[in-house]
Amino acid sequence: MAAENPFLLLLSEAYNDQWRVFVSPNGPISFPQSLFAKTINDSNHIRLNAWANGWFIDEIGRYTITIEYFPQNLFYLGLIVLALNVSALGIVGAITLFRHRTGTNRLMP
């Protein structure tokens, strides 16, 4: 988008302070980037129409706005941890099965 003046951004979802807005001149912010990217100042996050989320955007120029719900990132992190744990369990299980079938109890000869 191209903004010539500051404006008010409205998100028609129930107000929650866990919503985050990112302004980036380089395109949308994805999940891993959003963990470390700078957000619009929390003091610019306001309640609109007594229930919705609003942000005062004072950035001028061409940029992309990304809106995310932070708890969703925690869900994604949980999925990554789960996948790593299942993979580790599979590797340990495969090693145990291999050792049991070959009759060896050590990894190195």
Torsion of CA 67, 73, 79, 81, to 10 degrees: 150
- Domain locations in the chain? 2-102
pLDDT digits (tens, 9 = 90+) for 15-56: 999 999 999 998 999 988 888 889 999 999 999 999 999 999
Cβ–Cβ under 8 Å, residues 18 and 70: yes
Average pLDDT score over the chain: 92
Give CA–CA dist 83/103, Å, rounded. 30
Percentage of the chain modeled with pLDDT above 70: 94
- Alpha-carbon torsion 41, 44, 46, 49, what sign? negative
Q: Which tokens sit at 37?
A: 């990217």
Supply the pLDDT for residue 61.
Answer: 96
Supply the pLDDT for residue 105.
Answer: 65
Supply the pLDDT for residue 64.
Answer: 96
Supply the pLDDT for residue 107.
Answer: 58
Supply the pLDDT for residue 102.
Answer: 83
